[in-house]
């Protein structure tokens, strides 16, 4: 009897969880991704703000595959899926499957605003993080020699859009970078000259958090010197300006966008029903209607639980990856698959050094204790002992010295000049 092949497209949290669960069960597990590494996206903002090296938050997939029985990796760009022919279409050819797990993740959602998409930075890849770090450092280099006060102010004004965890964490980290590190590297630039503006369309930051934690996060950011503008929408941008819904314009060379995500482009090419954000509608067991051998998980999947679509977050993807793997194994045993149920273990966000907010199982944490919980959990979920050690050493070094080592301008910056 031929060994069944399971193809997993995407090596994010969902795809990796599925592969780990399927390994060693007599199946051929083929992992496919455009990159040869798993990226720990929650810490990308620390690469962008010179806190961590790129390599410390990435881990080679082949190193995992060689430890997992029956697993293999194939580097490739996914072009589409032939559902009828049971083939995953790659740029370099087709890969047949008996089961398919689609875990291609998400892309940044600019809500059709082309000027923002053209001029804003986002954080979805190592290249994005490196490019943003280059941009920030290069702006300080330019500000040192800029004689015109207005142009100098524009160079040192950073607009961050989105009051979710990514926006809050990036704004806090950027403020600490400018106050504690770049102020010493660039004595020509006064700390007071640097502006970081966090913009949120809702009435509060971190809307998924309890009210008292939202208020703490807002107060903490403002105490740090971050300007927070609530109930404010960005409507356009060019290379030197950011436009707002009320007609006001801020001169700035940096717009960071974390205000929305949508399903990866692959979802549009499947030819199946989609929901908001381009997410693929799935059956309760995460399979495609009419194609029980195909599972869609993570940010690509649209599944309503308790009247609300499940959020596009790493914990959801990881749990769905494990569920899809168990569903495949159940099918192989001739058993019925079970509906997926997400178990929310909580949420958290760090707000600079020694401060964070966290909620888990009805318990609320803030300040130093929440920050310690955030540190420990992120270290736990990082893959690889070396990566955990490097990240821990970097965090400890920064905690005691207020110094960040990765202040390198390493490539061309397409948006700075």
Q: Which residues are catalytic?
A: 169
Question: Phi and psi (nearest 5°) for 416?
Answer: -85, -45
What would the two tokens of residue 182 be?
């770049």
Q: What is the per-residue DSSP string for 11-72?
A: -SHHHHHHHHHHTTSS-EEEEEESSSEEE-GGGHHHHHTTSS-GGGGEEEHHHHHTTSTTEE
Q: What is the edge-to-edge ordering of all strands in the sheet holding 254-257?
A: 227-229, 195-199, 157-161, 254-257
Separation between Cα atoms, residue 297 and residue 173, nearest integer Å: 31
User: Do 273 and 178 contact (CB within 8 A), yes or no?
Assistant: no
Pairing of strands 356-360, 347-350: antiparallel
Residues in the chain: 417
Backbone dihedral region of 68: left (phi > 0), alpha (psi from -120 to 50 degrees) or beta? beta
Cβ neighbours, 10 Å, residue 5: 18
User: Do 143 and 152 contact (CB within 8 A), yes or no?
Assistant: yes
């Amino acid at each position: 009897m031929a060994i069944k092949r399971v193809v997993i497209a995407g090596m994010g949290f969902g795809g990796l969880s599925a592969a780990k669960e399927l390994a060693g069960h007599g199946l051929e597990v083929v992992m496919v991704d455009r990159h040869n590494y798993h990226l720990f996206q929650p810490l990308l903002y620390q690469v962008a703000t010179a806190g961590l090296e790129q390599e410390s938050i990435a881990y080679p997939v082949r190193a995992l595959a060689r430890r997992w029985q029956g697993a293999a990796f194939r580097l490739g760009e996914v072009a589409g899926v032939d559902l009828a022919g049971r083939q995953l279409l790659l740029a370099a050819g087709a890969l047949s499957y008996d089961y398919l797990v689609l875990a291609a993740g998400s892309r940044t959602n600019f809500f059709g605003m082309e000027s923002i998409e053209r001029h804003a930075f986002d954080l979805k890849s190592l290249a994005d993080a490196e490019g943003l770090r280059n941009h920030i450092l290069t702006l300080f280099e330019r500000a040192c020699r800029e004689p015109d006060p207005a142009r100098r102010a524009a160079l040192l004004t950073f607009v961050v859009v989105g009051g979710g965890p990514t926006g809050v964490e990036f704004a806090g980290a950027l403020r600490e970078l400018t106050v504690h590190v770049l102020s010493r590297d660039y004595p020509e630039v006064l700390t007071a000259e640097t502006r970081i503006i966090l913009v949120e369309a809702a009435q509060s930051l971190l809307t998924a958090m309890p009210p008292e934690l939202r208020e703490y996060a807002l107060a903490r950011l403002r105490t740090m010197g971050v300007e927070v503008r609530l109930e404010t929408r960005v409507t356009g941008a060019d290379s030197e300006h950011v436009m707002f819904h009320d007609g006001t314009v801020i001169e700035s060379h940096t717009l960071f966008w974390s205000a929305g995500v949508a399903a990866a482009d692959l979802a549009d090419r499947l030819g199946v029903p989609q929901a908001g954000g381009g997410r693929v509608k799935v059956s309760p067991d995460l399979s495609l209607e009419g194609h029980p051998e195909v599972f869609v998980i993570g940010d690509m999947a649209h599944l309503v639980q308790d009247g609300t679509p499940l959020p596009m977050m790493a914990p959801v993807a990881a749990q769905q990856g494990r569920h899809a793997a168990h569903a495949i194994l159940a099918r192989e045993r001739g058993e019925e698959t079970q509906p997926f149920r997400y178990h929310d273990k909580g949420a958290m966000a760090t707000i600079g050094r020694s401060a964070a907010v966290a909620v888990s199982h009805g318990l609320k944490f803030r300040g130093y204790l929440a920050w310690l919980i955030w540190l420990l959990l992120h270290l736990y979920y990082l893959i690889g002992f070396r990566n955990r050690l490097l990240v821990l050493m970097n965090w400890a070094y920064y905690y005691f010295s207020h110094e960040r080592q990765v202040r390198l301008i390493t490539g061309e910056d397409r948006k700075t000049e």
